[in-house]
Amino acid sequence: MREPENIRAVEKTVRPDMMGFIFWEGSKRYVSEPPAYLPECTRVGVFVNPTEEEVLQKAEDFGLNAIQLHGQESPDFCRTIKERTGLPVIKAFSIASAADIANTRQYEDTATLFLFDTKCESVGGSGEKFDWDILQQYKGNTPFLLSGGIGPGDEEKVRRWRHPRWVGIDLNSRFETAPACKDADALAKFVRSLSPNLSKGEGEIGQ
C-alpha cells in the first residue's frame, strides 16, 4: 500500500488484519516515505535482503508492527532482526515443488510466521499461483500465510482448502487497479465470501 486515500478506503471497507509496505526499490510498489495516513491495523514492512539498519530505520519511520523478509535472508539475520526490533518476523519462501519446502526447517526457531509465495523470476508480485497441494508436504510447527496470485474467482478454492498450520491469506496484485493501489470494493466482496471460514478462526487477511 502507498496512497493515503486508498489506504483509508481499504481499511474502512475491508478491515484487514495486516497491511504491507514494500521497501525494496526494485518493486513497482516501492514506498520511500511514510504516507500522509497510516492504517491502524498491523503494519508490515516488506524487505528484500536489507541491512539491519535499514530495517530498524523503516520500523521507526513507519511505526511498523511486523517485519517480512522476502529475500535470501539467513536464519541468523532473521533472529537478529527479531531481537533488535522486538517485532514478529514473517519469512517468505518461493514455492514451486516439495523440495522448496525443505528450506523452511532451518527457520523454525527464528520466524514467527512463514509466507508461501509463487516461485518466479521476480521477487513476488507475479499474480500467478503455485500448486497449493504441495504444502501438504509441510510438516513444520511455524504457522503460515498463503500467497501467490489469489484473486477474484478463487473464493471457492480458498474456502475448501485446509492445512493445520494455515492462518491467513495475502491478497495483492490481482486486486490492484494500479501498482500499490487496491480495489477496495473487490477486496471487500472477496473477504465477505470467506466470512464463514474467518469467523471460525481459520485465517486472517493481509493486503
Average pLDDT value for the chain? 91
Contacts of 107 (CB under 8 A, 6+ apart): 75, 78, 91, 114, 142
Residue 202, pLDDT score: 45
Q: How confident is the model at residue 199 (pLDDT cuts 50, 70, 90)?
A: very low
pLDDT at 197 over 80: no
Q: CA 152, 95, 99 angle in degrees (round to 5)? A: 150
Please report the pLDDT score of residue 200 as a whole number.
41
* Residue 51, pLDDT above cutoff 70: yes
Of 69-78, 91-100, 119-128, give the range with the top mean pLDDT. Answer: 69-78
User: Considering its fold, how many domains does the chain have in total?
Assistant: 1
**Is the pLDDT confidence value at 179 over 90?**
yes
Q: In whole angstroms, give the CA distance from residue 99 to residue 198.
A: 30
Instruction: Give me the pLDDT at residue 157, please.
Output: 93
Asked whether the whole model's pTM tops 0.85, one would answer yes
SS3 17: coil
CATH classification of the domain holding 202: 3.20.20.70
Alpha carbon distance 160, 70 (integer Å):
27
The model's confidence at residue 194, banded by pLDDT at 50, 70 and 90, is confident
At 60-87, the pLDDT tens digits run 999 999 999 999 999 999 999 999 999 9
User: What is the residue range of 104's domain?
Assistant: 4-206
Query: Distance between CA atoms of 130 and 155, rounded to whole angstroms?
Result: 16
The CA-CA-CA angle for residues 200, 163, 100, to 5°, reads: 145
pLDDT of residue 119: 86
